[in-house]
Amino acid sequence: MAGFVIFAERVDWHTRSLVAALKARGVKPRIVSLRACGFAVGETAHGLLLPGFGDDLPDACFVRSVPAGTLEQITHRLGVLHALAALGVRVMNDARAIERCVDKSATTFLLAHAGLPTPRTLVLEDAATARMLVDSAPGDSVLKPLFGAQGRGLERIAPKGALPEPEAVGGVYYLQDFVAAPAQSGPDAIHEDFRVFVVGNRAEAAMARRAKGWITNIHQGATGAEVAAEGLLADYAVRAAAAVGATYAGVDLIRDAEGRLKVLEVNSMPAWHGLFDATGRNMAEPLAACLVGETVSA
């Protein structure tokens, strides 16, 4: 074993924060791009190509990002993560959790299978059937990119509203009932949902995300306000992370018109700068503690 790795494409605020938190614990991690990794069967002792490691393996790996690429490139990069886990290296999060969270349909299925409340969701390829489902929905539908992130590409579609052509959605329609949260009427209504950051089966921090529009992602201009990471909000978030097998996660939840919480999504590589701005808590600390195996008291 030869140290810790952070898989990242750039040394941004998040990476610098995590490096600092690990160094404070006596660990100096290496920052490696998954683009530079590969397989070297018959060449290295473990069969992998990991820059700077040779025949050694890392003690643990933190996946900050998996770079975009072709289907072949992404499959190859996830294959490296799968192989590291198979060799007994702790990978946080591992490839299986990343795959489950990147595919929103898999996430939704696993949330429901775990008994967590989540909006009615229909995922299919046939445009005519999708059109019929939108028109027969009890209210508006939200069309989401299957592999989207940070609130990009979301569309709210009313019954009889225009539906994109298949090629515009990658040939897959992910449709979810729009959740009308309490007090969302009138021109000055504020839309609100919640982001809970989970690390190692513990809800570390939470914020309400508020916006004048229905898309409440911080990257889309919403503002964050600290809320207590406790009660049902924390319980659902921890259970949602466990349902997809994520050691750490950003879990998005919303209250419906009756005030009932529903789990919307689970992010396996969440940013936490917005959460830091809202709460003053840097998630690099609990992440580093979890990565090195510290025991965190309740």
Question: How many domains would you assign to the chain?
Answer: 3
Listed in sequence order, the residues at least 6 apart from 189 whose beta carbon sits closer than 8 Å to its beta carbon are: 183, 212
Residue 168 lies in a domain: yes
298 domain residue, yes or no:
no
CATH of the domain at 288: 3.30.470.20
Q: What angle do CA 134, 139, 143 make, to 5 degrees?
A: 50
Whether residue 233 is contained in a domain is answered as yes
Check: CB of residue 229 under 8 Å from CB of residue 266: no
Q: What is the identity of the amino acid at 247?
A: T
Which residue has tokens 């900050």? 64
Is 0.85 topped by the overall pTM?
yes
Among residues 270, 262, 261, 265, which one has the least CA distance to residue 244? 265
Does residue 196 share a domain with residue 62? Answer: no
Provide the H-helix boundaries in 245-292. Answer: 273-279, 284-292
Query: pLDDT of 241-289, one tens digit each?
Result: 999 999 999 999 999 888 999 999 999 999 999 999 999 999 999 999 9
* The two three-digit tokens of residue 277, written as one number: 């701005």
The token duo for 142 is 């939200």
Closest to 216 measured CA to CA, from 145, 264, 151, 271? 151
Grouped pLDDT means (10 residues each) for the chain, 298 residues: 87 96 95 97 96 94 95 96 97 96 93 96 92 89 75 80 88 90 64 94 94 71 89 98 98 92 96 95 97 70
38 in any annotated domain = yes
**Looking at the structure, do residues 109 and 213 belong to the same domain, yes or no?**
yes
Same domain, 193 and 158: no
Q: What tens digit of pLDDT does each residue of 200-232 get?
A: 999 999 999 988 777 667 766 778 899 999 999
Structure tokens at 31: 């920052």
- 258 domain-assigned: yes
**Domain identity same for 230 and 108:** yes
The predicted pLDDT at position 294 comes to 74
Residue 297, domain member (yes or no) = no
CB-CB contact of 123 with 175 (8 Å) = yes
H or E stretch at 207: strand 203-211
Report if residue 165 sits inside a domain: yes
Q: Are residues 273 and 210 in the same domain?
A: yes
Residue 111 shares a structural domain with residue 243: yes
136 and 160, same domain (yes or no): yes
Looking at residue 64, the DSSP 8-state letter turns out to be S
Phi, psi of 70 (to 5 degrees): -70, 165
If asked whether residues 44 and 112 sit together in one domain, one would say no
Same domain, 264 and 282: yes
Using an 8 Å Cβ cutoff, are 296 and 286 in contact? Answer: yes
pLDDT given for residue 3 in this prediction = 87
Quote the tokens at residue 220. 């889309």
CA distance 221 to 86: 41
Domain that holds residue 249: 100-116+182-292
CATH of the domain at 59: 3.40.50.20
Judgement on whether residues 106 and 19 belong to the same structural domain of the protein = no
Residues 210, 284 share a domain: yes
Structural domain contains residue 110: yes
Amino acid identity of residue 75, one-letter, is T
Q: Is the CB of residue 31 less than 8 Å from the CB of residue 65? A: no
CA distance 76 to 81: 9
Q: Comparing C-alpha atoms, which of 39, 46, 109, 119 is closest to residue 79? A: 39
Are residues 106 and 238 part of one domain?
A: yes
